[in-house]
Chains A and B, each alone.
Chain A
Amino acid sequence: MFDFLSRFFKPQGSSETAKERLRLVLLSDHLQLAPDVVEALKYDLIAVISKYVEVDVESCEVTFEQQDRTVLMLANIPIVSMKVRTLDQPAEPEPIVLGEPELEVQPATVTSHAHAAAPRRRRRRRKRLGAGSDNKQHAVTGPLGESSN
């Protein structure tokens, strides 16, 4: 009865606000990246993927999620079409206009903080690349970064 009446007299609870604010602040604490740098990372990520496939920039979502005590990056990037390229035609990165803010991105300092997003962190990308992806020649070089020999 009182609970029912209370609803009319008072605005909705603030614990949801607290939860959401905590979620966001801890995300940036764990990544040790400022929120604007996270924003820049999103733009860069979309830009890189746009080199290979045409994406729907408007519908791109890049979010971070806490799973246990690690941070997952989830990218939901709808692909509009494949950019067909032949093997001997190197990728010509097209300038992509994202209307991104010009940010001086400092290299993120990944310290010994146990929960900082380590570079090896598993990243899940929910993008569906066609099976006949044609960019084999751009496969990243070996794990030690040695050039072709």
Chain B
Amino acid sequence: MLQPQEIPQEAPGAEPQAAKAAIRGRAIVVTSGKGGVGKTTTTANVGAALAQRGAKVALIDADVGLRNLDIVLGLENRVRYHLLDVLESKVPLDDALVTDKRVATLSLLPAAQSREKDEVDTELMRALVEQLRERFDYVIVDSPAGIEKGFINAVVGAQEAIIVCTPEVSSVRDADRVVGLLGNRFSPQLIVNRVRPGLVKRGKMLSVDDVNGILRLPLLGVLGDEADVIVSTNRGEPVVFDPNSRTGNAYRTIAARIAGDDVPIPAPPAEEGFMGKLGALFRI
């Protein structure tokens, strides 16, 4: 049986000084276990939405070897250096950070594309997140899928975790596994992604309550399975930059809740109009 590595505890000699911690930013890892559930999209949009609120945000793409956060954000043409260049002290941190021209408080540290996850040193990764927390209000780490070393490296510097899960048995099971691995640290919160209320209503999809009846985490947000995310990814413009996007609005609400605003979670819009229902009669 696979025994995943332990997530290392606080670094030896880490000083738990309350005063110092108070001025530091929050490091949040976005993770899921399963791939393809929307971690990168969530990292991009939550980061962009927090930056739009005026917070200084650094996004780290920890998916070494499968760099994607840059292209989802539309910053792929501005990447010159990457995470491993910084960890190996080849370039200064500021040379590798890509600043978003649309929201100046948003920065991206891209993953290395031609390297492997195992090449990342866990302690150096922790130190890097610590260093970024000195300068940014939020450090959001986009975790790779899986529970191996790439996951450990993504998690090691974080204090908080966002679990992204879709209403599918495989995703829920993997999320449950990840929550188990995180243990009592990271106070994980849940985002249920790609909910289709029409299917839920017809008993063909697990509901948010079904998912969270199993995972039992504080619910951070619910996102519908909507076309605007696909369109925004095609264009490299996070949906939060579109003031009319419903998913953008849902992500802005998630950002507000992370920032501590007491705002309710909007229900994902029912996706089906008359024609949809007519079509549903003949489907499946």
Give the size category of A's interface with B: 20 to 34
Whether the pair A111, B281 counts as a contact (CB closer than 8 A) is no
Whether the pair B173, A29 counts as a contact (CB closer than 8 A) is yes
Whether the pair A18, B206 counts as a contact (CB closer than 8 A) is yes
Whether the pair A12, B203 counts as a contact (CB closer than 8 A) is yes
Question: In the bound complex, how far is the Cα of B183 from the Cα of A14, in angstroms?
Answer: 31
Q: Which residues of A contact B204 (CB under 8 A)?
A: 13-15
Question: In the bound complex, how far is the Cα of B87 from the Cα of A107, in angstroms?
Answer: 43
A21 within 8 A of B: yes
Whether the pair A113, B180 counts as a contact (CB closer than 8 A) is yes
Q: For the complex formed, measure the closest distance between the CB of A24 and the CB atoms of chain B, giving whole angstroms.
A: 11
Q: Considering only CB atoms, which chain A residue lies closest to B276 in the complex?
A: A2
Q: For the complex formed, measure the closest distance between the CB of A21 and the CB atoms of chain B, giving whole angstroms.
A: 6
B244 within 8 A of A: no
Q: How many A-B residue pairs have CB under 8 A?
A: 67
Q: Considering only CB atoms, which chain B residue lies closest to A9 in the complex?
A: B281
Whether the pair B281, A5 counts as a contact (CB closer than 8 A) is yes
Question: In the bound complex, how far is the Cα of B282 from the Cα of A112, in angstroms?
Answer: 50
Q: Considering only CB atoms, which chain B residue lies closest to A13 in the complex?
A: B203
Q: Which residues of B contact A138 (CB under 8 A)?
A: none
Q: For the complex formed, measure the closest distance between the CB of B178 and the CB atoms of chain A, giving whole angstroms.
A: 11
Question: In the bound complex, how far is the Cα of B174 from the Cα of A86, in angstroms?
Answer: 54
Question: In the bound complex, how far is the Cα of B169 from the Cα of A23, in angstroms?
Answer: 10
In the complex, chain A residues 103-146 whose Cβ is within 8 Å of any chain B Cβ: 109, 111-115
Question: In the bound complex, how far is the Cα of B173 from the Cα of A2, in angstroms?
Answer: 33
Whether the pair A69, B210 counts as a contact (CB closer than 8 A) is no
Whether the pair B206, A15 counts as a contact (CB closer than 8 A) is yes
Q: Which residues of B contact A19 (CB under 8 A)?
A: 206, 210, 213-214
Question: In the bound complex, how far is the Cα of B205 from the Cα of A73, in angstroms?
Answer: 29
B202 within 8 A of A: yes
Q: Which residues of B contact A12 (CB under 8 A)?
A: 203
Number of interface residues of B (CB under 8 A): 32
Whether the pair B203, A15 counts as a contact (CB closer than 8 A) is yes
Identify which of A14, A22, A68, A115 contacts B203 (C-beta below 8 A).
Answer: A14
Per-position contact with A for B251-284: 1 when CB-CB < 8 Å, else 0? 0000000000000000000000000011011101
Q: Which residues of B contact A5 (CB under 8 A)?
A: 281
Whether the pair B214, A23 counts as a contact (CB closer than 8 A) is yes
In the complex, chain B residues 1-29 whose Cβ is within 8 Å of any chain A Cβ: 1, 3, 6
Whether the pair B210, A29 counts as a contact (CB closer than 8 A) is no
Q: Considering only CB atoms, which chain A residue lies closest to B201 in the complex?
A: A3
Q: For the complex formed, measure the closest distance between the CB of B10 and the CB atoms of chain A, giving whole angstroms.
A: 17
A16 within 8 A of B: yes
Question: In the bound complex, how far is the Cα of B284 from the Cα of A13, in angstroms?
Answer: 11
A25 within 8 A of B: yes
Q: Considering only CB atoms, which chain B residue lies closest to A66 in the complex?
A: B214
Question: In the bound complex, how far is the Cα of B213 from the Cα of A30, in angstroms?
Answer: 15
Which 4 A-B pairs have CB atoms at the shortest separation, nearest pair first? A13-B203, A114-B183, A2-B277, A13-B204
29 intermolecular pairs with C-beta atoms under 8 Å apart: A2-B277, A2-B281, A3-B201, A3-B202, A6-B281, A9-B282, A10-B284, A13-B203, A13-B204, A14-B203, A14-B204, A15-B200, A15-B204, A16-B203, A18-B169, A18-B206, A19-B213, A25-B169, A26-B176, A29-B177, A66-B214, A68-B216, A69-B216, A109-B1, A111-B3, A113-B180, A114-B180, A114-B181, A114-B183
Given A14-B203, A19-B210, output 20 extra A-B contacts at Cβ < 8 Å: A2-B277, A2-B280, A3-B202, A6-B202, A6-B281, A10-B202, A14-B204, A15-B203, A15-B204, A15-B205, A18-B210, A19-B206, A19-B213, A22-B214, A29-B173, A32-B1, A69-B216, A111-B3, A113-B181, A114-B180
